[in-house]
Structure 1
Amino acid sequence: MKIKKKKLRRKSSLKKRIKITSKGLLKRKKAFKNHILTKKSKKRKRRLSNLDIIKTYLKNKIKKLLLL
């Protein structure tokens, strides 16, 4: 009797939030830029709007989740 293995599935929620750059780095959007923006300073909002590069120690974990 054959036992079927479960399919390895990507984490689709993570796939939507992370992009891979041409150099192979992972980039993401920063949090806290969706609402209640009136009490945040212009400088803070500007910094939050920039994309963030994911740290190297998390890179391997995320690549496993994305099956890369």
Structure 2
Amino acid sequence: MPKLKSRKSAAKRFRASGTGKVMRRKTFRSHLLEHKSASRKRRLAGMAVVDERDVDNVRLMLPYL
């Protein structure tokens, strides 16, 4: 059986946590940061858990996650 390919765009966006949950970056942290408050930027700096409705789609894109 051949190895399955990962979708490379998804591989760059999602990671597995230590407990196996699918993690993603928070949005609104890539540009236009000058007018956002420091507390808002700190809050957006961390990772977030992917919603349970989307996890199945992410796992299809990343078979070895």
Match of 1:49 among 42, 45, 48: 45
Q: 1:38 aligns with which of 34, 37, 56?
A: 34
- More contact order relative to length (CA 8 Å, sep ≥ 6): 2
Task: Tell me which stretches of 4 or more aligned residues in structure 1 moved more than 3 Å.
Answer: none
Identical-residue share of aligned pairs (%): 31
TM-score (norm 1): 0.77
* Uncovered stretches (5+) of structure 1, i.e. residues with no partner: 1-6
For the residue of structure 1 that corresponds to 2:23, the secondary structure is strand
Residue matched to 1:67: 63
TM-score calculated relative to the size of structure 2: 0.80
Structure 2: gaps of 5 or more residues = none
Q: In structure 2, what is the Cα distance between the partners aligned to 1:21 and 1:15? A: 14
Distance 1:13 1:61 in 2: 13
Size of the aligned set, in residue pairs, is: 62
Q: CA RMSD in A?
A: 1.7
